[in-house]
Amino acid sequence: MYSITTPERNSDMDPDTISDNIPGFVIPRREGQPRGSMKTVEIKITGRVQGIGMRNCIRHLAGKLNIRGEVMNLPDGAVRIVATLDPILLDKFISTIYGCPRALIKDIETAEIQTRSFREFSILKTDD
């Protein structure tokens, strides 16, 4: 008979060490990237991206990936995202943004910025 210990049953189990305790189970991460490290990125999206529900779509996508940060419209017609996330999720997050309905994305620029902490992912209102 086998016994499986889950975090709910054993509060001493650290999620970062689960892969060390289960043979053959590996949590993917980039070479040289320490476990649990987060970075903050600024993402600027240009094209037809305002007035079409883009900010709501981005908030929904971020929620599905457990990304924290903020999204806002910019005066020049672009959308700006500031997000704190695991670096391994960055490419996945950006690729899902292209799936936002009614958006015609011309370009997505990303830049790493000073790490910030957010409680949730929120939409910042501007004078749209």
Taking only the tens place, the pLDDT of each residue in 79-100 is 999 999 999 999 999 999 999 9
* Contact assessment for residue 64 and residue 48, using Cβ atoms and an 8 Å cutoff: no
Domain ranges of the chain: 39-123
Which among 55, 59, 68, 80 is annotated as catalytic? 55
Taking only the tens place, the pLDDT of each residue in 23-65 is 444 444 444 445 558 999 999 999 999 999 999 999 999 999 9
| Tokens 């020049």 sit on residue | 76
Question: Distance (Å, rounded) from C-alpha 79 to C-alpha 102?
Answer: 14
Active site residue 80: no
Which among 59, 68, 73, 80 is annotated as catalytic? 73
Q: Which CATH number does 39-123 carry?
A: 3.30.70.100
Phi, psi dihedrals of residue 34, rounded to the nearest 5°: -65, 155
* Contact assessment for residue 35 and residue 29, using Cβ atoms and an 8 Å cutoff: yes
Please state the pTM of the whole predicted model: 0.71
Active site residue 73: yes
Sign of CA dihedral 56, 58, 61, 65: negative
